[in-house]
Amino acid sequence: QVQLVESGGGLVKPGGSLRLSCAASGFTFSDYYMSWFRQAPGKGLEWVSYISSSGPTIYYADSVKGRFTISRDNAKKSLYLQMNSLRAEDTAVYYCARWHYDSRGFAGIDYWGQGTLVTVSS
């Protein structure tokens, strides 16, 4: 069965850095676009970034552009998010997720990890 397991969250001071990892299993990781999303406490979902199946296509939300870097290692079936210059407003649960697509194109996010909490506070 498909599993996405995030790790690397924790408490970090403003201006600090953190690297999130997502270990994938149960599917051919290299076939899928992957994304990071986040959800601040009591708030809605926010897209952070996505990366194409082999990595050349990458996009970021304006709120994290220039500070966050998404990457993947298809051999290790892993997705990463390097977060630098962290701010209080980056505090959220971060989810790793897989994009489903069919003949019409993108067909939603069909699998999500359980999330990892990142808290930015002094």
Residues that bind other proteins (CB under 8 A): 35, 44-47, 50, 59, 61-62, 95, 100, 102, 104-110, 112-115
| DSSP annotation of 9 | -
Tell me if 112 sits within 8 A of 5, measured CB to CB: no
Q: Which is nearer to other proteins, 11 or 107 (CB)?
A: 107
Residue 45 Cβ, how far from other proteins at the closest point, in Å?
5
What the block records as the tokens of 34 is 């992957």
Residue 47 Cβ, how far from other proteins at the closest point, in Å?
4
Q: Which is nearer to other proteins, 83 or 97 (CB)?
A: 97
| DSSP annotation of 18 | E
Q: Which is nearer to other proteins, 5 or 74 (CB)?
A: 5
At 40, phi and psi to the nearest 5?
A: -70, 155
Tell me if 80 sits within 8 A of 94, measured CB to CB: no
Residue 22 Cβ, how far from other proteins at the closest point, in Å?
13
